[in-house]
Amino acid sequence: MKIVTIYDQIQSGMGTKDDKMLPLGGKNVPIGPGIMMTPFLKQIDAKIVACLYCGTGTYLNNKEMVSKKLCDMVQKLHPDVVICGPAFDYKDYAQMCAEITESINDSTDIPAIASMSAENEEIINKYKDRIYIVKCPKKGEAGLNSALQNLCQAAKALAVHDKNIANIKEYCF
């Protein structure tokens, strides 16, 4: 199973919270949380084929263009599933994850899933009935490994078009 991940400047390791204008880019190796997901990806016989990234400022300043480019890149890479996040408690990144997940689901034939912490309550309430949002802890809080494992399990269920949505919903808000 092939997975593409989408990160902000912090999770990609390409910048800090102040480097919001990082341009859209990508790597064909796991980076950021993708490296930490490795043992859980093995459990579902999956691998990350590309990590796409973009600064939150770049995204928020031109959502339509960045979203279209990300959807085009995802369509070209044609993975089995796209994982946006985990966004932890970073509000701008959580918004980016939710909106891009919805765009990928609406404009490509590839399923996408987002992940963020409960601190993003407004975004979760706005999107939880439209996309799958896997629960994760806020940055630095315990439980990240469990959340990454759950994210991989939910991604697998989505990728294989599991008809039992309870298999996905058990990990989501």
Each residue's pLDDT tens digit, 70-128? 999 999 999 999 999 999 999 999 999 999 999 999 999 999 999 999 999 999 999 99
Cα 169 → chain centroid: 16
Domain hosting residue 23, numbered range:
2-171
Mean pLDDT along residues 41-62 = 97
Q: Which amino acid, residue 10?
A: I
The DSSP secondary-structure symbol of 52 reads E
- pLDDT at position 165: 87
Cα separations (Å) of 117 from 4, 120, 136, 161, 169? 21, 6, 5, 25, 15
Q: Using CA atoms, how far apart are residues 31 and 39, in angstroms rounded to an integer?
A: 14
Chain position carrying tokens 């930490």: 36
Chain position carrying tokens 């909106």: 99
The DSSP secondary-structure symbol of 119 reads G
How many domains does the chain fold into? Answer: 1
Q: Which amino acid, residue 152?
A: C
Q: What is the CATH number of the domain that holds 151?
A: 3.40.50.2300
The mean pLDDT value of the chain amounts to 96
